[in-house]
Structure 1
């Protein structure tokens, strides 16, 4: 069952669940979740990715610098890793699902994410790819993703993966946990 933002605000104000939510989300959340803001953007770089049964690696990534207006420029045909200002610390029994704000797909930007299980602590990282023929700009602090929190019943294995804490990429082979 989806948890309404209003039902979660008390936990959040106690410093649990999601940290660094904007004043807008703390005072007047909209819909069935919370909007998340952009902290930084990295361009997916060179090197091949690999996902095997016991090892994995990703292409390297390069942190981008924002322009004088605090905006990043996403070039056509390129993929980026977008990190949130907000940091998650979901308790056992809750999971977060993520969706794009509609301005992204209306501008030719695809948004890719994964399920956030309980036990992960840190900011979220999502993939953004510009499929349009023109560049797209996105500003630090822009609301670009939407988090929906759901309850999970039954026994849950807490997150113990290697992306804990918000690591962006891993360009050399490493063992799977």
Structure 2
């Protein structure tokens, strides 16, 4: 069963009211990383190991726009996502999933309409940390996304039956 807005307000208090959706919670963009790979190294899943490229934080870009009605220049801080290049995008918020819950993550529809896809994985019971998603611009021109913009949505649901909490490599300590 999907946990709705009342549950999400209780689990994730002190959020911007715009983040609460009837069946989900919007997630905001906090950091963007590029994949830094060494061509002399084999990446993959083998021998019981995870070997992935380093994630190097992308420096913030600035977008200057002229507000035509009043000729005032607006400056936005965020990132340009180049076409056909993978980025790892991390949410601003630390997410703590309940012990009897799991989560799906979906891209916001505006991104899909612009040719941007957000690739996600299942959030397991008891996970705690800053979620990271693979984002690819399938368009032909760079796409700017402002820091703190809503870019994905979590859908929380109850899990029935005996389950164990997440105890994987990406677990963080809870910060509040």
Structure with greater Cα Rg: 2
The alpha carbon displacement at 1:116 in A equals 0.5
- TM-score w.r.t. length of structure 2: 0.82
Partners in 2 of 1:11 and 1:62 — Cα distance? 31
Per the alignment, residue 136 of structure 2 pairs with 129
Which blocks of at least 5 consecutive residues in structure 1 are unaligned?
14-19, 167-177
Per the alignment, residue 4 of structure 1 pairs with 4
Alignment pair present for 1:79 and 2:73: no
The secondary structure found in structure 2 opposite 1:70 is strand
Alignment pair present for 1:92 and 2:99: yes
Partners in 2 of 1:31 and 1:52 — Cα distance? 41
Of the structure 1 ranges 53-62 and 36-45, higher mean CA displacement relative to structure 2 is found in 53-62
The secondary structure found in structure 1 opposite 2:6 is helix
2:114 to 99, 103, 107: 107
Per the alignment, residue 65 of structure 1 pairs with 59
Deviations 1:68-124 (A, max 9, x none): 421201111100000111111112111111000012121111211111112211111
The alpha carbon displacement at 1:53 in A equals 4.9
Partners in 2 of 1:130 and 1:9 — Cα distance? 32
Higher strand share: 2
Which blocks of at least 5 consecutive residues in structure 2 are unaligned?
63-75
Mapped contact 1:21–1:36 kept (Cα < 8 A): no
Number of aligned residue pairs: 157
Partners in 1 of 2:49 and 2:130 — Cα distance? 24
The alpha carbon displacement at 1:67 in A equals 2.2
- TM-score w.r.t. length of structure 1: 0.82
The alpha carbon displacement at 1:11 in A equals 3.5
